[in-house]
Amino acid sequence: MNPVAAALTWSGLNLAHNQSQFDDLIKVQEDLFKRVDKQILEWGIESNEAGWRANAYLYCTEVTCPSCNYSVPLASSWAIAPTTKVVAKLIKNEINQNFDINLIQKATAQDFKIAHESATIKNSRLECPSCNESHSIDSIRSLQKLRTLRKDEFLFQDNDVFRERLFAIRWEVPTKKGRLERVYKAPDDFDRDREEKVIKLLSERFVDWQDFGFIPSRKIESGYNTDQPKRERGWSYWHQLFTPRQLLVHGLISSFIDHNDKSHMIIALSLAKAADWDSRLCRWGTGAARESIAQTFYNQAFNPFFNYAGKGFSLLKNNLLIKPPVCQSRHTNIHLIDARDINFNADLWITDPPYADAINYHELSDFFLAWYDKHLEVFFPEWKITNRHALAVKGQGQEFKKSMIDIYRRLALKMPDNGLQMVQFTHQDPSVWADLGMILWVAGLQVSAAWTISTETSIGVKSGNYVRGTVLLVLRKRTVDDVVFPDELPSLIEDEVRAQLDDMLALDDKELPNFGDTDYQLAAYAAALRVMTQYSTIEGINIENELYREKQKNQKSAFEKLIDQAVEIACNHLIPTGFDEFQWKGLAASERLYLKGLELEKHGELRAGAYQELAKGFGVREYTFMFAKTKANEVRFKTGTEFKRSNLGGDNFAGSLMRHVLFALHETVTKENAKEGVNYLSAEVTDYWGNRKKIMEILRYLNRLAHIDHMPHWEVDAEAAQTLAGAIENFNA
């Protein structure tokens, strides 16, 4: 039903059938870049009197302070370019009751400190540098009555709550050595004249370009994500998410699309790509030492910024080039229809269902559709390019479940008995997996196979424990009437999970792993579904009623409980690399959690959620005392010397062998003598000699944490682990 998905699918299958067509498409785009560039140079809107070419435009939002009526430019920091050493400085202009913005070149560390401290927006509050009063942005928005912009508006008015101000331009300056040097300058009178020329050129074309579909004319439909621009800035049409300069340049690109040549779909896609990388939703700077412009969809939301940046065409064209896949299939039919209305048979159905409200694709994709909807109407007159938000399958509540069942029932009906379906799924919530399993079961389908495929192959170094794979569930019609009793399922699931994980471990690259712990958890979910969906009856459980039943908080369905068991099996089955399997099985759940937590950190995982899922998998409820840090994306467990005497002695982890080993490390480090650690262990550990091999195994594992770049806090304890292990090995009673 989504025209954007249909356009991408058609393009992927039909634009390039061989290398020659691929080369032609690259040339089509390069020729377009030259034509656009030529027109921009003729207009003179990106070049200054010295022959410099503008590379980037930096904007800030201005508001009027309710206390002193000064017009205040907003920025969370006035540090502009950490690498080039440029900061902005506000100069109070009492005549105009506003602030001039000067750029300081070759800024010192003190200049940067002042630039950060002089932020005019902090925690969504205006900090006025004129009167030193503080006002929340929400109160300003309400007090000054934020207005909604009309369809014919692309400029802010002087009395609007939020205004737009160009405060810096990054220029490319030719050097004597033939290179281009980037220089930041505050706009001068000539630059302001060029901005006025942009507005004049756009004004002359605005109505016609909207009618022709060269620039957006669609209204932003109300929705969870799409209400944000209107609520926060008053933008109610898609074109208002772009500056006049962006509308002019993008519209120029759009005007060169030839509707008599269907290969020009590549230009329509380039146009949408340009919109992603060049809008008012593109933030400036993505790190402390970088000077770059992030794309609109750096996350799946519409976030209006107080500071943003636009690209000059010389910088934008690097984002425009699209290299289509070469696909030799020439027999394709792309239909824009509801899956519940499918009226033809197929041997194979491939679906990528919505992930329980994780991403509102039906809302977000309209950002792109707004740029090429009228082009699609000409290229594909048989498609109905209309708004179908009301029909979208949204990941919420009973309606979502019903829609999913209707779709998968229909697809099952429209495939032969020996046909199959493939479902791509990447959600990490066990309750979502449980719902998916029940949906497929009610639709008459069973999971016959499941594969976790490494999909994040474009990420440079595969570090971190993010989900690197997508689970591909292979579905077939459930054609037998097998019955199973609930008490039989746990052992069946255990066998299936172990087999699934062993297959993945055998395939995985030990030096450069394809999968992290989260991927193995997904595989455990899939293995559980493979067992549960093969039976037509689970004695004593009405699955359809279970699916639709309203659950109380923290209440779990039977399916979800079984999936939780699958994760627990997976956690216990996945032994840290290099740890002896026999000794691992002798550890308590809390001890395994601690050691697996260290492995997460070793792999670069710093998200609290990953540790939470791990604890859930091991069935450990109390574990937060293990954390040395709980700040977002800095989470890690304590070392032995960081634990000191805390949580030592008693039940569970506090009285475990693991905890005693950690304190022995503390004694070894603080007293600079491994004998102190040995004496502690031999005195405090019950059956010391019976646990000696296990202690040695733990110490050898901890020693391997030495010399890991992102774990310097383990350096001393890891070295002590080697010393203590040697002392224990040579210790005689």
Instruction: Tell me if residue 90 falls in helix, strand or coil.
Output: strand
For the stretch 21-34, pLDDT in tens is: 999 999 999 999 99
Contacts of residue 278, defined as CB under 8 A and 6 or more positions apart, other chains included, come to: 242, 246, 249, 250, 293, 310, 311, 316, 319
Burial per residue of 504-522, b for 16 or more beta-carbon CB atoms within 10 angstroms, e otherwise: beeeeeeeebbbbbbbbbb
The Cα–Cα gap between 595 and 585 comes to: 13
pLDDT level of residue 415 (50, 70, 90 thresholds): very high
Instruction: Give residue for tokens 């060029």.
Output: 194
Q: What is the mean pLDDT of residues 599-612?
A: 82
The Cα–Cα gap between 431 and 564 comes to: 9
Q: Is the pLDDT of residue 355 over 80?
A: no
Instruction: Give residue for tokens 């010192």.
Output: 108
Q: Is the pLDDT of residue 138 over 80?
A: yes
The Cα–Cα gap between 23 and 29 comes to: 10
The letter for the amino acid at 263 is: S
Sheet hosting strand 125-127, strand order edge to edge: 121-122, 125-127, 134-136
Residue 460's pLDDT is 35
Indicate the domain borders of the chain: 339-364+381-573, 581-729
Helix residue ranges per DSSP H, 671-712: 674-684, 688-703
For the stretch 432-471, pLDDT in tens is: 888 888 899 999 999 998 877 766 544 333 444 444 567 8
DSSP summary character for residue 326: B
CA of 314: how far to CAs of 199, 297, 545, 712, in Å?
20, 21, 60, 43
Q: Is the pLDDT of residue 102 over 90?
A: yes
pLDDT level of residue 356 (50, 70, 90 thresholds): low
Residue 408's pLDDT is 95
The Cα–Cα gap between 32 and 37 comes to: 8
CB of 643 closer than 8 Å to CB of 597: no
Q: Angle of helix 244-255 relative to helix 19-43, nearest 10 degrees?
A: 130
Q: Which of 118-132, 287-301, 617-631 has the lowest mean pLDDT?
A: 287-301
Helix residue ranges per DSSP H, 121-177: 137-143
Q: What is the mean pLDDT of residues 246-272?
A: 95
Half-sphere exposure of 439 (CA within 13 A, CB side): 23
The Cα–Cα gap between 172 and 196 comes to: 22
Evaluated on CA atoms 715, 717, 721, 722, the torsion sign reads positive
Residue 407's pLDDT is 94
The Cα–Cα gap between 670 and 658 comes to: 19
The Cα–Cα gap between 613 and 608 comes to: 9
Q: Is the pLDDT of residue 152 over 90?
A: yes
Q: What is the mean pLDDT of residues 634-655?
A: 91
CB of 504 closer than 8 Å to CB of 515: yes
CB of 55 closer than 8 Å to CB of 309: no
Q: Is the pLDDT of residue 288 over 60?
A: no
Instruction: Give residue for tokens 């409820």.
Output: 621
Q: Which two tokens stand for residue 148?
A: 């909604």
The bridge status of strand 483-484 relative to strand 537-538 is parallel
For the stretch 229-256, pLDDT in tens is: 999 999 999 999 999 999 999 999 999 9
Instruction: Tell me if residue 159 falls in helix, strand or coil.
Output: coil
Q: Is the pLDDT of residue 699 over 90?
A: yes
pLDDT level of residue 286 (50, 70, 90 thresholds): low
How far is Cα of residue 236 from the mean position of the Cα atoms in its chain?
Answer: 26
Taking phi over 0 as left and psi of -120 to 50 as alpha, with beta for the rest, 95 belongs to alpha
Q: What is the mean pLDDT of residues 482-506?
A: 84
> How many CB atoms neighbour CB 302 within 10 A?
24
Q: Is the pLDDT of residue 357 over 80?
A: no
How far is Cα of residue 459 from the mean position of the Cα atoms in its chain?
Answer: 13
For the stretch 168-196, pLDDT in tens is: 999 999 988 888 899 999 999 999 999 99
Q: Is the pLDDT of residue 90 over 50?
A: yes
Residue 717's pLDDT is 95
For the stretch 512-525, pLDDT in tens is: 556 666 677 777 88
Residue 350's pLDDT is 94
Residue 732's pLDDT is 57
Instruction: Give residue for tokens 């070049």.
Output: 47
| Mean of the per-residue pLDDT values of the chain | 88
Q: Is the pLDDT of residue 347 over 70?
A: yes
Residue 291's pLDDT is 85
User: What would the 3-class secondary structure string for 537-589 be?
Assistant: EECCECHHHHHHCCCCCCCCCHHHHHHHHHHHHHHHHCCCCCCCHHHHHCCCH
CB of 130 closer than 8 Å to CB of 72: yes
pLDDT level of residue 585 (50, 70, 90 thresholds): confident
DSSP string, 176-215: TTS-EEEEEE---HHHHHHHHHHHHHHHHHHHHHHHHTSS
More confident residue, 116 or 559: 116
- Strand segments (E) across 44-93: 53-64, 71-73, 79-81, 86-93
* Residue 473 β-bridge partners: 423, 450
Q: Which two tokens stand for residue 41?
A: 């140079």
Percent of the chain clearing pLDDT 70 (strictly above): 94
Give the residue from 247, 252, 272 showing the smallest Cα distance to 364: 272
Residue 459's pLDDT is 39
Residue 309's pLDDT is 96
Residue 466's pLDDT is 47
Q: Which of 101-105, 373-377, 381-385, 537-541 has the lowest mean pLDDT?
A: 537-541
User: pTM here?
Assistant: 0.78
The Cα–Cα gap between 596 and 77 comes to: 40
**Cα dihedral 458/462/467/470 (nearest 10):** 50
CB of 27 closer than 8 Å to CB of 35: no
- Please tell me which of 21-35, 473-487, 508-522, 609-623 the model is most confident about, judged by mean pLDDT: 21-35
For the stretch 675-692, pLDDT in tens is: 999 999 999 999 999 999
Contacts of residue 265, defined as CB under 8 A and 6 or more positions apart, other chains included, come to: 7, 10, 11, 15, 375, 379
Q: Which of 238-242, 471-475, 561-565, 663-667 has the lowest mean pLDDT?
A: 561-565
The letter for the amino acid at 45 is: I
Q: What is the mean pLDDT of residues 531-547?
A: 85
Q: Is the pLDDT of residue 642 over 90?
A: yes
Q: Is the pLDDT of residue 712 over 90?
A: yes
Instruction: Give residue for tokens 């932003």.
Output: 220
Q: Is the pLDDT of residue 343 over 80?
A: yes
Cβ burial of 179 (10 Å; 0-12, 13-18, 19+) is exposed
Sheet hosting strand 86-93, strand order edge to edge: 79-81, 86-93, 98-104
Evaluated on CA atoms 647, 652, 656, 658, the torsion sign reads negative
Q: What is the mean pLDDT of residues 594-600?
A: 90
